[in-house]
Amino acid sequence: MRLESSDARWLLVRLGIIAVIIAVCYLVIMVGMNMFNRSLGLDSDEDGVEEDSGGPAAPQDFYTPDDRLALPEVEELPEGPEASWAMTPCSIWVSASADPVVDSMPEAPGIPQKPLEALFLARRWAFEAGIGEEDLDMVYVFTRLDTIYVDLPEERQLEGLKRTIESRFICFTRLFPLVAGNLMSSYPEGISLRGIEGVFRQ
């Protein structure tokens, strides 16, 4: 009987030691978890229960303003090749009898860019001639050697366009006016311009 009683006491002692070890491990784990939560900024309230926000946390709750990525400022896009062209004076004749409108426009630096400069000129003339801004995108210019084709959204008196082109370019010697892609019946052979033949062939 004594042997059995000492064995029971020894078993109780062993169980007590195991219980103490488990309690110590539990406390160590709890302290470690609390420290980890504080480092992440996820502190619980005084009762040890996190408050229910009623929905998912907002993204800004997980980082500070210093952690946010700053997007680069959007730079203005270049205007086009004409952005680097020099501005030069230009005269726009609305009609043959009217005084010219003195303006300035980008000047093409070489012959390959002349068709684009001619487009700017034709649209500026169309605006001064009374074609509305909503129709200016319907003004087109096509060139072939020393011939220029100007497509307009509606018929207009063209003597002013003729003088405007002549005052700006020496490389065009004939103008073919079109309306919505169709050659104007009044000018089946185009309009002669005072230019220098062969300039486009240099």
List, for residues 108-161, the tens digit of each pLDDT value: 999 889 999 999 999 999 999 888 888 899 999 999 989 999 999 988 889 999
Residue 59, pLDDT above cutoff 60: no
- Hey, which residues does 13 pair with through a beta bridge? none
Q: Give the pLDDT mean for 103-112.
A: 90
Closest residue by Cα to residue 85 from 58, 64, 114, 57: 114
Q: Are residues 93 and 25 in the same domain?
A: no
DSSP string, 31-54: HHHHHHHHHTT----TTS-PPP-S
Quote the domain boundaries for residue 15: 1-43
Structurally, how many domains does the chain consist of?
A: 2
Structure tokens at 50: 């996190």
pTM of the model: 0.58
CA atoms within a 13 Å half-sphere pointing along the CA-CB vector of 75: 3
Q: Are residues 14 and 91 in the same domain?
A: no
Task: State the pLDDT at residue 80.
Answer: 80
Task: State the pLDDT at residue 166.
Answer: 92
Q: Are residues 87 and 164 in the same domain?
A: yes
Token look-up 């001064």 returns 128
Q: Are residues 36 and 101 in the same domain?
A: no
CA angle 148, 150, 156 (to 5 degrees): 135
